[in-house]
Structure 1
Amino acid sequence: MNMGMELEAVKSVMDEGVVFVKVHMPWKVLCTYAEVLHIKVPIQPNDMASRPSMWDCISCFTKHFYPNEDLIRKEPEFFTAPFERDRQEYFHIKDKDHFFTPSMRSRMAFYILSSAPYEIRGNIKKFGINKLLDSGIYKAAYPLHDCRFNVRSQEEGCPNERLLLYEEWAHPKNFYKVQPFDLIRKYFGEKIGIYFAWLGFYTFMLALAAAVGLACFFYGYRTQETSTWSKEVCDPEIGGKIVMCPQCDLCKYWMLNSTCDTSKKLCIFDNFGTLVFAVFMSVWVTLFLEFWKRYQAELEYDWDTVEFLEQEEPPRPEYEAKCIYERKNPITGVENTPYSCSIMLILASIVAIIVYRLAVFFALSIKLRNTDELKNFEPIKEYVTPQMATSVTASLISFVVIMILNILYERVAIWITDFELPRTRTDYENSLTLKMFLFQFVNYYSSCFYIAFVKGKAVGHPGAPVYLLGKYRNEECDPGGCLIELTTQLSIIMGGKAILNNIQEVLWLKNHMSRLCCGRAAEKVTPRWEQDYKLQAMSKLGLFYEYLEMVIQFGFVTLFVASFPLAPALALLNNLLEIRVDAWKFVTQFRRIVPEKCQDIGAWQPILQGVAILAVATNAMIIAFTSDMIPRLVYYWSFSVYPYGDHNNHSMQGFINNSLSYFNINDFHNTSIGIVNEEPQNITFCRYRDYRFPPGHPRQYEHNMLYWHVIAAKMAFIIVVEHIVYFTKFILAYVIPDVPYAVKEQIKREKYLTQVILHETKLKLMTKRSVPPADGTTANEESIVTNEEEDDDC
């Protein structure tokens, strides 16, 4: 009240022990704090003609994908300038009651509440509504919704914006419509608006990636039956006569054609289209980030956040209560608390997860290869191989472990951030963002990195396998490689995560829908502030978890897309649902949050850029080391010719036999009792996946020249592809400006008008004072006084 606010206290209708304090901002107070917060308001209608868009020619079709213009009308465009109390006549003020929008009023009111002192003891001053909320003196502090979300308000002049947002945005029937970003920003503020704008733009760009990914998938699906190498694996005369060496010490021999179905499925994902799609996605992610910067620049101008001056944030209540030992920042002079690093915990989690994967794969491999549980299920045995069962079962177990560790990592990240004791809320969110992403990166992606780049890469050969920690024999890939297992892992983790999130959303919605239905009868007699009090409060971390979920999904879509071209399509379907569910919660279930200014998506932007750079390397390495693309190309161009010496005609015939080496079963160690007792009849050699000299050669079981040819080709492929893609990314980033030319022109025009208005005001004031006064003083004397006064003001 001492700062000019008007307060009114009323008792609760439903609970006599609760008192509501209503806050009102008079015009003078609004003008004062609009100037303090540098709030931009209209000064003149935008007189720059908008340029025609290429979409205007098909507007008759695209209009069906936009909200109803009769309900949500386009906001008029104005040039804006920071508000100044002394120059109100130069601002576009038609109605003082509606000049400042409700979000502006709420922001100014919360600023006063956050900075108002309430207790002074000696040199210690306590202030801010946040500290009162944290100590339980107040139960909640929130702006009011303007009406019920499903009933139009009968009050005269009520904009009913909440109802419009529900009908044209949050309702599930509008899943195909473009979001009304201007109305979202106007009602919830820039921070919520920029989140939905980013999510909508990301989903729109996913549509293109999903279309190309589906085309790549269908191409592989149609060619799986005509693939030469899958035919050789399934051929009884080729794959049916190749005895494969055991893949663990207690495993059995097995026939190559037992992996026939797996080989066909592998052809769906491991084909030439995979290479094209991986390169396309490397370019796509660059286009996504560059065009997002342009779109974000447009939003910054439209929403008046260009050169936004963030006010100094007050310290968090936790900081004031717990901070004892401080040190000054040498640059800003602000005192803060030193913190420890959590890198060791991240590294430890990586090692723990990899060891866990090894133990699980080893145990499942022994169980599935040494039992006859499927002997009575011949139809199942035809389609379910030990390799497939091991891969699927281990992926499901990995998913369960990921979900459990996810809870642990979240608590650890919050504990470490609380221990650091960041001074402001922004510092807290940025610190937690980095830690949570690093933890989630390790948790979700470590198993995928293990399968892609570790499994089957250092296994030795059947006579001399490599052991981890002297106990666990390193896992081997199937003859078709580990790509199909990586695909299985990605599909289970990504799909399972999306399904689990949607189940949680449905249960959450069901719970609150039942509560909402029970309370509807009382809504007719309950005032607006009490209805809003019953709604859910927004989490202290705000949109943090929403961003985190989408960024983790972005990693799945980009980092390993070479092995799973359906990832963009799954992400697209999930996001179409995610947008409407989030919108439904904000409009119907949450209290109206305090609007916050925001220029961009904050710390998530550099994280996305880092993931995009890493995605080029990971996809190139997946194609080189995880798939069989490079060995096939080497064989096709260098070692395969049709009979009769025609070197101009190449074929993939014989590739399977060429990619498998020989091993003499008599060279197995006697300690491998399981192998010796199950030695096949009339067989002296078994085959294994590698390029080594055969038994009897002077350098038997050593890598042959073909191995080094393939390694050289893989390294050359990685270097060439990375350089080409990175060069393309650099060119695209250079060619596509971050700020559109039209926006630059409008920014310059706005600055010019602001400068002209300020100068005109000063010139009129000086001219008025230069008129000879009635007391006989000269104009020059008055001018001198004026100049002196102006200098003092400056």
Structure 2
Amino acid sequence: MKESWSAFDTFEPHFRPLVVIELAKDTKEETKEWLTQRIEDKKKNGGAQLLVKPLAKEDGGKIDGNENIYLVGASYLRLLLGAETVGLVKECNDNSMRTFTYSSRKTFKDFAEDNHNFLTMSECQYIIKHELENLRAKDEKMIPGYPQAKLYPGKSIVRRLLTNGILIQFFPLHDKEELKKLRHIWYSRVKISFQPLDEIRCYFGETIALYFGFLEYFTFALVPMALIGIPYYVFAWEDYDKYVMFASFNLLWSTVILEVWKRCCARMTYRWGTLLMKRQFEEPRPGFHGVLGINPVTGKEEPVYSSIKRQLRIYLVSLPFVCLCLYLSLYVMMIYFDMEQLALDYHEENETSFSNLMLFVPSIIYAVVIEIMNRIYRYAAEFLTSWENHRLESSHQNHLILKVLVFNFLNCFASLFYIAFVLFDMKLLRQSLATLLITSQILNQFAEALFPYWLQKRHNKKIKKRMCASKMDSDLSLFEQINMEKEMGTYLGTFDDYLELFLQFGYVSLFSCVYPLAAVFAVLNNITETYSDALKMCKIFKRPFSEPTANIGVWQLAFETMSVISVVTNCALIGMSSQVNAIFPESKTDLILIVVLVEHILLAMKFVMAFLIPDKPRDIQIKLARLEFESLEALKRQQIKLAAESLKDETHEGKKRI
């Protein structure tokens, strides 16, 4: 049972800054005073009961240009109470994982009243973010100093400040010492070893750690494909049709690795506690707008938007736009094939080393165009999805991912399908697959890590020169850190990272039987990707808020869908091979029927395998069942206790009347 907030004094003389708030330069003083008051006010008065201080010198003086920057922290007691509010799961002394409650705090492993490391820094920052985002308007009709910024009871204050441009950003601070340790064991030395996923989780949270866990798992899963692919490629260099065995292995591989990943994921997230975290009722996303109404589920006042209008926007605007983009992608693909034909004609006329190199130029140009189109379409998809005005962040993300995946799939793989099943040119298929895969990997590495790192390094040098010129040597460490971090780019989540792995999985699972080295290049790319992604997390972007998660979400479904398509594709390629065609020299109809039958059998086996292999290991299932049983027993005991107390009160009242 939760204890009353009013029973605790959460003031703490020692202030540890955890989160930075940056307001607009022209923010009015009354707005600042009102916001800081609401952050500091007690929970019973509608505040967040946190600690907030303006960024200042050690002697208490303000710093020019930083008057609108505030540091937010919380007492240890306040963080413990917040951990119960958000439902954090921690390890108990009996090695089980349970939802943390303040009343039973002493039963949890490593807990002590003076052990401020019981909660990780990322967990503390997640709690503060939760409390800030849940600051609700009470009696205010508007944001003080801004009559146009209307408020109504229950409206999130922070989200309103963001949408009105008063609050520029708020972000968690880096811990320089912990970050230095993490960098040292993570990417400062080139070595072949497992990533420090537990340390990544403690510093960046479960969502980031789970992405790096999946990246590591996928890289190791590619190794068997790479080991088989190298000799297969060497000894069958010119035999483009001899790929039946490799395609057969591909069918099994693409199914097994995804099923095994779900079990690895469940084991990891159970150890981290997020597998047990209960999903809270989702609040409206910051960009959601509509007329003021009553939510029928919560009874709270919040914006309401007609679902009919949203459906009209989706089917009358978004869907036609996506179809138009798909048509444009196919049109560009046909231009690419015209270029291929021109290059081939030029080579047949000249047959020189230069003309041989020219054969690769159309594929390279097409690969670059594909990357450009993917990025332009991404911005358009984000705009359209925001315009559709989805209430929940999960719904917004699902619609965005669907739009992006459909276009990226067609844009990246349509030419390969056309070459394989329309032109029946295995040599061109191998050449195109190799060029598209390698070019896209090089461009992604440059765009995602190298170029942003170069820009950030230049920007940091300018900040250091400016701060040294202002002779703030004694204050350089803290203020330099805050000024550098507030100017860093914002990490927008794991969307692009998973998308890159999804496309890579497509290249490997769909057509790698024709180009067996695809898995080799994928492994090499993922090794460098691990280091470049670690670099951008630690050096290029602001520290993201921790986000508890139990799995990779909708991306699991996306990868499984791709594996189903790979079954169909590989069966078709096997049916087209010279070895299989030699078995049916006369009747092509029998061959097609047999290929379709085998494909259906394999798909059935795939779904049976997915059903038979549990998503959670047996020991994890037992632990979850035991926790559920104990929770039910505790609820029963509580109900019996309440019933006994009620009966006792009724008996006492009866005796009084007698």
TM tier relative to shorter chain: 0.7 to 0.9
Q: What is the CA-CA distance between 1:630 and the residue it aligns to?
A: 3.5
Counterpart of 1:657? none
| Aligned match of 2:360 | 392
Which secondary structure does the structure 1 equivalent of 2:615 belong to?
Answer: coil
Q: Which residue of 2 aligns with 1:37?
A: 86
Q: 5 Å matches for 1:425-574?
A: 425-455=393-423, 481-504=424-447, 505-516=449-460, 525-528=475-478, 530-535=480-485, 537=488, 539=490, 541-574=492-525
Greater mean alpha carbon deviation, residues 100-109 or residues 326-335: 326-335
Is the 8 Å Cα contact of residues 488 and 542 (structure 2) preserved in structure 1?
yes
Alignment of 1:91-130 (within 5 A): 91-92=108-109, 93-96=111-114, 97-117=116-136, 119-121=140-142, 124-125=152-153, 126-130=155-159
Q: Percent identity?
A: 26
Q: In 2, distance between residues paired with 1:611 and 1:329? A: 38
Q: Which residue of 2 aligns with 1:408?
A: 376
Q: How does 1:65-80 map to 2 (within 5 A)?
A: 79-80=96-97
Deviation at 1:620, TM superposition (A): 1.5
TM normalised by structure 1 equals 0.65
Residue number in structure 2 paired with 1:419: 387
Aligned partner letter, 2:366? S
2:224 paired with 1:208: yes
Q: Is the 8 A contact 1:11 1:19 kept in 2?
A: no
Partner deviation per Cα, 1:152-194 (whole Å, 9 max, x = no partner): xxxxxxxx331221001132513x1201111111111111111
Deviations 1:59-87 (A, max 9, x none): xxxxxxxxxxxxxxxxxxxx232233344
Counterpart residue type for residue 173 of structure 1: V
How far apart in 1 are the matches of 2:418 and 2:196? 43
**1:364-383 deviations in whole A, cap 9, x for unaligned?**
64686489962xxx6549x8
Alignment of 1:344-423 (within 5 A): 344-362=320-338, 365=341, 369=345, 374=350, 379-380=352-353, 384=356, 392-423=360-391
Q: Which residue of 2 aligns with 1:198?
A: 214
Secondary structure at the aligned position of 1:409 is classed as helix
Q: Is the 8 A contact 1:399 1:492 kept in 2?
A: yes
Which amino acid counterpart does residue 85 of structure 1 have in structure 2?
Y
- Identify if the C-alpha distance between structure 1 residues 601 and 787 changes in structure 2 by more than 3 Å, giving closer, same or farther: farther
Name which of 556, 559, 563 aligns with 1:608: 559
Distance change in 2, residues 1:787/1:312 (3 Å): farther
User: 1:450 Cα shift?
Assistant: 1.5
What SS does structure 1 have at the residue aligned with 2:70? Answer: strand
What residue number does 1:714 align with? 591
Q: In the TM superposition, what is the alpha-carbon distance from 1:363 to its structure 2 partner?
A: 6.4
Which moved further from structure 2: 6-15 or 303-312?
Answer: 6-15
Structure 2 residue 54 is the aligned partner of structure 1 residue 9: yes
Matched, 1:84 2:101: yes
Out of 160, 164, 167, which is 1:131 matched to? 160
Q: Which of 143, 150, 155 is the aligned partner of 2:172?
A: 143
Larger radius of gyration: 1
- In 2, the alpha carbon distance for the partners of 1:608 and 1:216 equals 26
Aligned to 2:241: 270
Counterpart of 1:641 in structure 2 is none
Partners of 1:448 and 1:490 within 8 A in 2:
yes
Q: CA deviation at 1:300?
A: 2.2
Q: Distance in 2 between matches of 1:788 and 1:494?
A: 80
- Contact 2:453/2:539 (CA < 8 Å) preserved in 1? no
8 Å CA contact 2:368–2:440 kept in 1: the answer is no
In the alignment, what sits opposite 1:663? none
| 2:427 alignment partner, SS class | helix
Deviations 1:740-774 (A, max 9, x none): 112223334445666777888999x99xx9xxxxx
- Alignment length (residue pairs): 575
Give a deviation string over 1:15-49, Cα, whole Å, max 9, x none.
43434322222244334332222222333232xxx
Counterpart AA for 1:719: V
Distance 2:651 2:241 in 1: 79
User: In the alignment, residue 392 of structure 1 is paired with which amino acid?
Assistant: F
The 8 Å contact of residues 283 and 728 in structure 1, kept in 2 or not, is answered as no
1:330 and 1:112 map into 2 onto residues whose CA distance is 22
Deviation per CA, 1:288-310, whole angstroms, max 9, x where unpaired? 11100100110221111224222
* CA pair 101-145 structure 1, distance change in 2 beyond 3 A: same
Asked whether the 8 Å contact 1:145–1:528 carries over to 2, the reply is: no
Matched, 1:318 2:287: yes
Distance 2:247 2:372 in 1: 32
Counterpart CA distance in 1 for 2:241 and 2:369 is 28
Deviation at 1:195, TM superposition (A): 1.0
2:601 maps to 1:737: no
With normalisation by structure 2, the TM-score equals: 0.78
Aligned partners of 2:232, 2:504: CA distance in 1, in Å? 20
Shift of 1:315: 2.3
* Other-structure match for 1:281: 250
Structure 1 segments unaligned to the other structure (5+ residues):
47-78, 148-159, 222-264, 456-480, 636-705, 770-779, 790-794
Within a 5 Å distance, the mapping from 1:146-225 to structure 2 comes to 146-147=175-176, 160-174=177-191, 176-221=192-237
Residue 649 of structure 2 corresponds to 785
Instruction: Label 1:135 to 1:782 Cα distance change in 2 as closer, same or farther (>3 A).
Output: closer
Unaligned runs of 5+ in 2: 1-39, 42-46, 143-149, 654-658
Q: Which amino acid letter does the alignment assign opposite residue 94 of structure 1?
A: A
Deviation at 1:567, TM superposition (A): 1.2
Does the aligned pair in 2 maintain the 1:559–1:619 contact within 8 Å?
A: yes
Partner of 1:654: none
Change (3 A) 1:202 1:365: closer
Cα deviations across residues 452-498 of structure 1 (Å, max 9, x unaligned)?
2223xxxxxxxxxxxxxxxxxxxxxxxxx411111111111111101
1:598 Cα shift?
0.7
Q: Which moved more, 1:405-414 or 1:529-538?
A: 529-538
Q: Which of 544, 558, 582 is the equivalent residue of 1:593?
A: 544
> In 2, distance between residues paired with 1:543 and 1:106?
19
Alpha-carbon distance change, 14 to 550 in structure 1, aligned in 2, over 3 angstroms: farther
CA distance in 1, matches of 2:245, 2:225: 12
Q: For residue 631 of structure 1, what is the amino acid of its counterpart?
A: N
Give 2:259's aligned residue: 290
**Counterpart for residue 8 of structure 2:** none
Question: Deviation digits for residues 695-723 of structure 1, max 9, x if unmatched?
Answer: xxxxxxxxxxx4xx2x2253144224314
* Residue identity matched to 2:233: F
Report the CA distance shift for 1:519/1:278 in structure 2 as closer, same or farther (over 3 A): same
Question: Partner of 2:288: helix, strand, or coil?
Answer: helix
Give the conservation status (yes or no) of the 8 Å contact 2:510–2:569. yes
Q: Do the aligned partners of 1:350 and 1:442 also contact (CA within 8 Å) in 2?
A: yes
User: Which has the larger helix fraction?
Assistant: 2
Q: CA RMSD in A?
A: 3.6
What is the alpha-carbon distance in structure 1 between the residues aligned to residue 573 and residue 196 of structure 2? 40
Q: How far apart are the structure 1 equivalents of 2:245 and 2:63?
A: 64
Provide the C-alpha distance between the structure 2 equivalents of 1:634 and 1:313, rounded to a whole number of angstroms: 58
